[in-house]
Amino acid sequence: MGILDSIPHVHAVPSHRPWPRAVVTEAGWQAAIDRLVEGGLTLLGFWGEPTAVHMAMIDGGSAEIAVVTYECTAGTFPSVAGHHPPALRLERTIHDLFGLVPTVADDLRPWLDHDVWSKSYPLSGRDASRDVRPYQFLPSEGEALHQVAVGPVHAGIIEPGHFRFTANGEHVVRLEQRLGYTHKGIESLMQGASLAAAAKLANRTSGDSAVAYAFAFARAVEAALDIEAPSRATYLRGLMAELERLANHLGDIGAICNDASFALMHAQTGILRERCLRAANVAFGHRLMMDVIAPGGVTRDIAPDGVAALCTLLAEIDKVFPRLIELYDNTASLQDRTVTTGIVKTEYARQFGAGGYVGRASGRNFDARRMLAYAPYDRLSFEVPVLEAGDVNARVWIRIREVEQSVALIAQILDMMTPGEIMSALPAACGECEGLAVTEAFRGDVLIWLKLGQELRVERCHLRDASWFQWPLLEAAIEGNIIADFPLCNKSFNCSYSGADL
Amino acid sequence: MRKTLLESLTHGSLAEPAPVPDESALAELAAKVDRAAQARLGRSLAIREVDAGSCNGCELEIHALSNAFYDIERFGLRFVASPRHADVLLVTGPVTKNMRQALERTYNATPDPKWVVAVGGCAIDGGIFRGSYACVGGVSEVVPVDLHIAGCPPSPTDLLKGLLALLENVSGKG
């Protein structure tokens, strides 16, 4: 049975691919919310347009996806967040950007809007001014409580964001995040952009996931235009995606240990990470492999000495990495910091649809590469590690196991790849069409939805980072832990600021 | 652990020879760094990194400067946790309007003499984010910039070339 069979809808939109999108009435919208609340469906995305809101949902059992659309004829829509908390930040963002009002909302404080843009509701297409009040953090009451304000400029070389801790002595009673500092207006720059310009923006939504974003963007365009990338191009995309995952996971494993003052691991994984980036540079001409994946395929083939560079890299990881795993596993002082620290309950991971290592360390068996089996992963064999403990240690182990899987995947792809075309021609023009794509970045699933207009220009593009559904869980995970363990917990999540601030 | 440590000690260093300081950076700096500052600092600079809305790509490469291949501390360059300890602000991103005030306050919190290095295409003029309602568009529109390092993102070697040029000027060798 399809998702839309159980949700009353007015009509399905024929030009939306590959999954269906349907316009619903208030009853249909409410039915969708009910399915999210009862847990039959998981919220995959929630975004606005000047006069409509869309919700993408996935059925965890059948891997089926559907989008429902509510037309906000009166400038309002029934609040999702009031019933389903994972939608809250997305709902506040829809209000910030489009001025649409959720009814009845418990929390309509601004999220991305810090009242310095010189205009309100920048994507609404109309002039309206917002009633601005000083930002109120949520209250915590108690005699001995004190607040610690951190950021937006942090002590390390990391992205900006504000953390407001309320603590009782050493212990965190409440953490509230205030993000949006890196909001660049990417979705407004997308409007009217050519495919080439839009792809550049997608590559730079979150620099550590440039490949995953470019991959999702290309797939969304291909879905909209109903074309497919050539087989060799999909293998090359897979190579880059796994290289990106390797580099990030290796960097993270070391950085997490470093936040527990275990610098040796950081130094060792730093060497492996650098070797990954150098191999990427040899094979694809850019250390972060930006702008190689494009709608239709890839813009360049792997360099002649690229295969050798990758083989050398794999051999080096095979040699060094097992020793590093042993080092992690046998250092009691390190385990003392990571085991039982920052636990994410399995129930929260399920409810929020937390992707990546955050979800998989807390029992959520979801990986877009396997669930949605997009090319080339439909032809590759790999395992998706899942643990239940949900602590920093589990998030480290998921990464360790995924490094091993990525090494095996790269070897498989190098084996299976055959010569051939790397780019399918795009049509010169198209009617209005829409595409949706989900790819698995190193930190979790990236969703991109777009609408193309005449001359292949982007009319609207929404990019949803995995971090949207992970950041709120960090607030829950730190509760009852000591403030000194926050860097460790935060690094074990390694959420994106830029990807979620847009 | 002992085995890994011992091997690290007995194997040769991975650190690579220093690149030659960037010519255009030397020229840009020659006019800006005064002798008085040179006399005071010696051959050591403390760097505070400020992400003013980058995509995080520049941060990844700035991080790489500390790995065994580039080993930035051998040059007397080190990253510090507070602007109050810094000689240099390394600023990335198109300066989002939401970060503008934080950047200004970080600059004001840095003691004189100080230098600002704008890193990456966005930091020069907003790059691909130029023209957005949410971006100021270039670090020099908010605080005075002494050196620009281009690239999207600049490689660690590019970063090192620029920073070595700064070091040479500041220490009176430029």
Contact A182 B54 (CB under 8 A): yes
Q: Is A140 helix (H, G, I), strand (E, B) or coil?
A: coil
Instruction: Tell me how far apart the alpha carbons of residues A188 and A172 are, in angstroms, rounded to a whole number.
Output: 38
Find, in chain B, the residue whose alpha carbon is nearest to that of A154: B81
Query: Buried (b) or exposed (e) across B76-99, using 16+ Cβ within 10 A?
Result: ebebbeebeebbbbbbbbbbbbbb
Inform me whether the C-beta atom of residue A270 falls under 8 Å from chain B C-beta atoms. yes
Closest to A220 in 3D by CA, of A56, A357, A358, A88: A56
Closest to A442 in 3D by CA, of A418, A409, A473, A489: A409
Looking at the DSSP bridge assignments, the partners of residue A67 are: A21, A56
- Candidates B8, B58, B98; nearest CB to A116: B98
Contact B51 A277 (CB under 8 A): no
Confidence (pLDDT) at B173: 46
Contact B129 A251 (CB under 8 A): no
Here the tokens at position A471 are: 């950041």
DSSP states of A395-463? HHHHHHHHHHHHHHHHHHHHHH------BPPPPS---SEEEEEEEEETTEEEEEEEEE-GGG-EEEEEE
Find, in chain A, the residue whose alpha carbon is nearest to that of B98: A181
A7 to chain B nearest CA, in Å? Answer: 38
Contact B57 A114 (CB under 8 A): no
Confidence (pLDDT) at A373: 97
Q: Is A172 helix (H, G, I), strand (E, B) or coil?
A: strand
Do residues A296 and A222 lie in contact, with contact meaning Cβ atoms separated by under 8 Å? Answer: yes
Which is it for the CA torsion A176, B132, A498, A432, positive or negative?
positive
Inform me whether the C-beta atom of residue A204 falls under 8 Å from chain B C-beta atoms. yes
Confidence (pLDDT) at A446: 98
Instruction: Tell me how far apart the alpha carbons of residues A45 and A43 are, in angstroms, rounded to a whole number.
Output: 6
Query: What are the backbone dihedrals phi and psi of residue A494, each rounded to the nearest 5 degrees, phi first?
Result: 40, 55
Confidence (pLDDT) at B44: 81
CB contacts of B67 in chain A (<8 Å) are 267, 270-271, 273-274
Confidence (pLDDT) at A76: 97
Inform me whether the C-beta atom of residue A468 falls under 8 Å from chain B C-beta atoms. no
CB contacts of A183 in chain B (<8 Å) are 53, 96, 98, 134
DSSP A87: G
Q: What angle do CA A481, A482, A485 make, to 5 degrees?
A: 90
Instruction: Tell me how far apart the alpha carbons of residues A121 and B23 are, in angstroms, rounded to a whole number.
Output: 46
Cβ contacts from A onto B, under 8 A = 145
CB contacts of A112 in chain B (<8 Å) are 98
Find, in chain B, the residue whose alpha carbon is nearest to that of A321: B4
- Percent pLDDT > 70 in chain A is 100
pLDDT at B120 over 60: yes
pLDDT at B38 over 60: no
Mean pLDDT of B16-25: 84
- Which stretch of A248-257, A393-402, B7-16, B110-119 has the lowest confidence by average pLDDT? B7-16
Task: Please list, in sequence order, all residues whose beta carbon lies within 8 angstroms of the beta carbon of residue B73, skipping any fewer than 6 positions away.
Answer: B66
Distinct helix (H) and strand (E) counts, chain B: 7, 5
Query: Buried (b) or exposed (e) across A81-120, using 16+ Cβ within 10 A?
Result: bbebbbbbbbbbbbbbbbbbbbeebeeeebbbbbeebeeb
Chain segment B49-100, per-residue pLDDT in tens: 999 999 999 999 999 999 999 999 988 899 999 999 999 999 999 999 999 9
Here the tokens at position A13 are: 């939109």
Contact A122 B134 (CB under 8 A): yes
Mean pLDDT of A11-26: 94
Please, which pLDDT band fits residue B36 given cuts at 50, 70 and 90?
low
A189 to chain B nearest CA, in Å? Answer: 7
pLDDT at A369 over 90: yes
Please, which pLDDT band fits residue A434 given cuts at 50, 70 and 90?
very high
- Which stretch of A280-294, A310-324, B16-30 has the lowest confidence by average pLDDT? B16-30
Closest to A187 in 3D by CA, of A55, A296, A50, A17: A50
Please, which pLDDT band fits residue B174 given cuts at 50, 70 and 90?
very low
Task: From residue A27, give the alpha-carbon distance in Å to each of A5, A51, A86, A337.
Answer: 14, 18, 21, 49
Contact B99 A208 (CB under 8 A): no
Average pLDDT in chain A = 96
Average pLDDT in chain B = 89
CB contacts of B50 in chain A (<8 Å) are 153
Chain segment A50-100, per-residue pLDDT in tens: 999 999 999 999 999 999 999 999 999 999 999 999 999 999 999 999 999
Do residues A498 and A230 lie in contact, with contact meaning Cβ atoms separated by under 8 Å? Answer: no
What's the complex ipTM?
Answer: 0.95
Contact B83 A330 (CB under 8 A): no
Mean pLDDT of A217-235: 97
Confidence (pLDDT) at A220: 98
Q: Model pTM?
A: 0.95
Confidence (pLDDT) at B41: 64
